[in-house]
């Protein structure tokens, strides 16, 4: 599978070092940049991030440890790197990591894995072991391993107890935009059941942190996820309206900002991965995007996929690249929370807004609960 094929079928909003750095400077946060295809971007992006963070004071918000420090004192870059492991060659990644180690460059704080073929445990274990072994041998900081799992609390527990030994599991609900498991549920069911399984399985032992993903775009969603049992949240769709995020065309962002009623204006389907050729994603996955002419043609009009592909190819040559509301042929990946994303805002400002909003909401909830008990 060549990188060009993958690039054509994974074209959506991407976070780079320009996104990860300001997000990671916002406190109570971790900015992530995505290596969704091959590793060529990994080394230059990490180098640019390191340069940006070199003299930048980094806020500490650990329990009993506040104030600021610098990346060199931490021993790592306070950001994460995400990999779609079905499309990224581990050998390429390891070459980059070895090159950076030889130059005494700092490692990222987190490595995030997603999109392995099912059964996925062996693949994730191979990635985790190679990365941990490299950094243990070189006596550098060993990045945390975060693995995204969706659709099954039982699968989350299996992965948690596997030899991959994830430091955190990102449990993705079906409201999430972009790719995820075809069969699944929202975090309303997934997070409490996963936490319940963890509580019974670990009984005080060290366990992976439980992070919630899917449909969270504001403080209310984040606070709800924490009340469900998550220890942290992941947001993606909200950052499509941040200038630091890379989008394939300006109209992509305009469509996100204009979208309303995400439960109806978005849908999960495999057709979104069949528009430029055969679907290259593992069979267990589909993706959520804005409902488009392509989906309507296939599912309501019975139009053959070959004819739809011709329309997509023609629209791609237009000035709007097929993303405009008139063309409506290019895929606009986003989650059900898109109706709440209606203004541009810098990534760091979004994080601060959500963090402060969560604090206020949980404080109000505590006050309300206390008043009920007192009455």
The token pair that represents 226 in the structure block: 């924490």
SS3 325: coil
Closest CA to 174 of 71, 97, 70, 268: 268
Mention every residue, 6+ apart, whose C-beta is less than 8 A from residue 193.
153
User: Is residue 128 within 8 Å of 91, Cβ to Cβ?
Assistant: no
Quote the pLDDT of residue 216: 98
Domains and CATH numbers, the chain: 3-249+346-374 (3.20.20.70), 254-339 (no CATH)
Ordered DSSP codes for 150-215: ES-HHHHHHHHTSTT--SEEEEE-TT-SEEEESS---HHHHHHHHHHHHHHHHTTS---EEEEESS
Closest CA to 113 of 75, 72, 168: 168
CA 307/CA 294 separation, integer angstroms: 10
CA 124/CA 88 separation, integer angstroms: 12
Q: What pLDDT band is residue 30 in, cutting at 50, 70 and 90? A: confident
Give yes or no for residue 356 having a pLDDT over 50.
Answer: yes
Name the pTM for this structure: 0.90
pLDDT per residue over 238-268, tens digit each? 999 999 898 999 999 999 999 999 999 999 9
CA 351/CA 355 separation, integer angstroms: 6
* Type and span of the H or E element at 334: none
pLDDT per residue over 175-197, tens digit each? 999 999 999 999 999 999 999 99
Closest CA to 239 of 7, 23, 35: 23
Q: What pLDDT band is residue 15 in, cutting at 50, 70 and 90? A: low
pLDDT per residue over 320-343, tens digit each? 999 999 999 999 999 999 999 999
């Amino acid at each position: 599978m060549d990188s060009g094929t993958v690039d054509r079928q994974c074209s959506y909003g991407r976070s780079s070092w320009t996104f990860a750095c300001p997000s990671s400077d916002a406190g109570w946060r971790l900015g992530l940049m995505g290596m969704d295809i091959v590793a060529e971007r990994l080394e230059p992006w990490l180098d640019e991030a390191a340069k940006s963070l070199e003299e930048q004071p980094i806020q500490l918000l650990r329990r009993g440890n506040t104030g600021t420090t610098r990346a060199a004192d931490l021993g790592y870059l306070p950001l994460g790197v995400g990999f779609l492991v079905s499309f990224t060659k581990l050998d390429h990644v390891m070459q980059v990591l070895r090159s950076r180690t030889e130059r005494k460059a700092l490692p990222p704080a987190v490595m995030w894995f997603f999109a392995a073929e099912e059964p996925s445990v062996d693949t994730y274990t191979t990635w985790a072991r190679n990365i941990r072994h490299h950094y243990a041998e070189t006596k550098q900081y060993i990045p945390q391993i975060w693995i995204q799992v969706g659709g099954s609390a039982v699968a989350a527990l299996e992965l948690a107890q596997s030899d991959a030994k994830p430091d955190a599991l990102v449990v993705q609900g079906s409201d999430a935009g972009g790719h995820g498991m075809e069969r699944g549920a929202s975090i309303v069911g997934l997070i409490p059941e996963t936490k319940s399984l963890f509580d019974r399985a670990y009984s005080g032992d060290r366990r992976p942190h439980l992070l919630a993903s899917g449909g969270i775009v504001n403080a209310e969603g984040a606070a709800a996820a924490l009340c469900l049992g998550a220890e942290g949240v992941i947001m993606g769709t909200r950052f499509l309206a941040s200038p630091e995020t890379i989008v394939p065309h300006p109209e992509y962002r305009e469509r996100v900002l204009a979208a309303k009623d995400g439960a109806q204006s978005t849908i999960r389907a495999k057709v979104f991965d069949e528009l430029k050729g055969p679907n290259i994603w593992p069979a267990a996955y589909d993706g959520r995007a804005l409902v488009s002419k392509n989906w309507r043609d296939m599912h309501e009009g019975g139009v053959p996929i070959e004819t739809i592909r011709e329309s997509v190819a023609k629209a791609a040559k237009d000035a709007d690249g097929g993303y405009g509301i008139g063309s409506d042929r290019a895929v606009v990946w986003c989650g059900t929370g898109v109706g709440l994303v209606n203004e541009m805002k810098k990534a760091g400002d979004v994080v601060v807004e959500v963090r402060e909003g969560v604090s206020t909401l949980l404080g109000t909830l505590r006050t309300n609960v206390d008043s009920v008990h007192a009455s």
